[in-house]
Amino acid sequence: MTAAPVTSDDTAGGTPVLPARGAQRPLGLREVEVTGGFWEGLQTVNATATLEHCERWMERLGWLANFDRVADGTTGPDRPGWSFSDSEVYKLIEAAAWEYGRTGDPAADALVRRLTARIARAQDADGYLNTCYGHGGQQPRYSDLESGHELYNTGHLLQAAVARLRTTGPDELVDIARRAADHVCATFDDSGLCGHPEIEVGLAELGRALGDLRFVEQARRFLDRRGHGSLREIPLGRAYFQDDQPIREATAFRGHAVRALYLAAAAVDVAVDLGDDELLGAIVRQWDRTVERRTYITGGMGSRHQDEGFGEDWELPADRAYCETCAGVASVMVAWRLYLATGHVKYADLIERTFYNVVATSPRSDGRAFFYANPLHQRTAGGVSDDDAVSPRAEGGSRAAWFDVSCCPTNLARTLASWQAYAASAAERELTLLQYAPTRIRTVLGDGSAIAIDVTTAYPADGAVTLRVTDAPAGAVALRLRIPSWAAGAVLVEGGRTRVVAAGFAVVDRSLVPGEEIQLLLPTTPRFTWPDRRIDAVRACVAVERGPLVLCAESVDLPPGAVLDDLLVDPSVPPVARSDAAMVRTVGGDEIELVPYHRWAERGASTMRVWLPVH
């Protein structure tokens, strides 16, 4: 592992992950500006609709007032919301902090400030901060470590403070988080564990941001304690919260998907910063097996509804896929950390797949309703959700404005606000483009030299990506372009020559000239994708992909009287491009239009399939 220079005082707009060392350095939010296209649209809707939407719902349901009641001494057993509702407030603050770092929008800054002011009043003198435990009419502090989520909530508070610190510098929120982290270290120095991992990743990143190794060491202690049966046995088993076996001995991600992935993200943080290559190797092995055998074609993770968890190897039913949106966010968190640590392209490939087919699938086009679970087969059309009501169910055929457990909207908001942080990375004399979108990249390489690239593309609707060099260092520099694993026959045009480039990284290693253009042509012809024969649930089925997009069939596109589950695709006829999607031929000779999976259910109630039967 080679060192990439980083500082805890990031002046480039901030970035969610800033390891002490690694193969690659992440770029800050202002080093990569998204100037248009697919992701700019989602970011704009997130900023102008979703942030306000989340605040309004939390105010309406009393989740924000819970902090006021603690401050005013009026708490009691009638507290609204689940024990983890505090975390949604913290994730919203984090989203607003990244939005302010990305754009400088005063409205985002104002949102952070007004929520911080309410939170500050609720913090106890010793740093403890929670609205569900430890006050009048409530259960004592840390009396239910398995299900109480106290440390989980604190972890999200710490991540919000990291976003604030890296985008504006020290302020009241950072002070609140530091006191809360000090309290956690003092209380849990020798024993104790939270049923929902999250405090670990919060401590590790706050320790990085503040330059305080105590917090990273406390995260390590939490990691080492887990897996020894210290939490109470529950009907779902200790694997539900990854307390069944030590993290260094596990062979795959298991149990509750979000918990497992948050834990893995923290493990990578700790392994990198403390130089624990054994721990890093364990997560690499678990990731490899999980992606090969326990991950859906969309990048979704989690195939069991009963525990929102991973199934066994090859247990990937399409109609019972859970694929929680939060698990998609957490999967990106893990893969990004592994990429920064190792520089391996496979992690960026999964990030792209998950971004387009899980993260982008959750929000409705107006940013005010969301999918919690993301199945790959909807057998019944279901009803349209009431935008003025809380949905009691995570599943359904339409996006809901809010959920009884509403972790996904705020998780989505913080991810979209920081999307460009995952688009590129740098090293000593090297700039790597990982995600393709219209962008302006302005950064400094590890040796201190400046480089600037403008990217123009209609990706993913079109695979042509043009890079224009606007500033370049003297001497040779390596410009690396990710070639996705699906992009057989990709072509690079540069320096007066054209060459076919294989999956991995296409490298332009020479002196760059300001004003020159480099073009990458990624094939986006629709293609059939066949499932592994060991996935029982989708044998004799085929899926269609186009570039990074997974496509699906919706009942609204079928001929009158046709039933989606009666559809049989003729695999002898290749799919044909149509707009940004495709057409397939059925055994009966009909042409059926497929649409990008991320757009399904935007045209009203419908049935839907990703995996299409062939006989």
For residue 220, which of 284, 175, 275 has the smallest C-alpha distance?
275
Are 555 and 578 within one domain? yes
- Measured from the Cβ of residue 187, the count of other Cβ atoms closer than 10 Å reads 16
Q: Which helix (H) or strand (E) holds 518?
A: strand 517-521
Q: What is the pLDDT of residue 4?
A: 37
Strand partners of residue 551: 596
Q: Nearest Cα to 432, choosing from 40, 19, 23, 3?
A: 23
Burial 199-216 (b: 16+ CB within 10 A, else e): bbbbbbbbbbbbebeebb
Q: Does residue 583 share a domain with residue 569?
A: yes
Q: Assign 3-state DSSP to the chain and report helix, strand, coil percentages, each to 5.
A: 35, 20, 45
Is residue 73 situated within a structural domain?
no
Q: Are 473 and 507 within one domain?
A: yes
pLDDT for res 383: 81
pLDDT of residue 132: 98
Say yes or no: 504 and 435 in one domain.
yes
Q: Are residue 538 and residue 503 in the same domain, yes or no?
A: no
Residue 475 maps to which CATH number? 2.60.420
Residues 515 and 545 in one domain: no
For 583, phi then psi, to 5°, come to -120, 140
Residue at which a domain ends, from 521, 540, 561 = 521
Within this chain, do residues 479 and 500 fall inside the same structural domain, yes or no?
yes
Q: Which domain holds residue 531?
A: 527-613
The ranges of the chain with pLDDT < 70 are 1-11
Q: What is the pLDDT of residue 9?
A: 40
Looking from the CA of 217 toward its CB, the CA atoms found within 13 Å total 9
Output the pLDDT for position 605: 87
Tens of pLDDT along 181-204? 999 999 999 999 999 999 999 999
Q: How far apart are CA 393 and CA 281, in angstroms?
A: 38
- Considering the domain architecture, whether residues 609 and 585 belong to the same structural domain is answered as yes
Could you tell me if residue 535 is inside a domain?
yes
Q: Show which of 494, 521, 548 is a domain's final residue.
A: 521
Assigned domain for 187 exists = no
**What gap in Å lies between CA 540 and CA 83, rounded to an integer?**
44
Task: State how far the Cα of 352 lies from the Cα of 550, in Å rounded to an integer.
Answer: 11
Q: Is 415 helix (H, G, I), strand (E, B) or coil?
A: helix
What is the pLDDT at residue 296?
98
3 Ramachandran zone, left/alpha/beta (phi>0; psi -120 to 50): beta
User: 457: closest CA among 476, 479, 477, 441?
Assistant: 441
Pair (429, 517) in one structural domain: yes
Distance CA 196, CA 330 (A): 13
516, 532: one domain: no
Answer yes or no: do 564 and 591 share one domain.
Answer: yes
Burial class (CB in 10 A: 0-12, 13-18, 19+), 388: exposed
Q: Give the C-alpha separation, 364 to 374, whole Å.
A: 13
Number of structural domains, the chain? 2
CA dihedral 464, 468, 474, 476 (to 10 degrees): 10
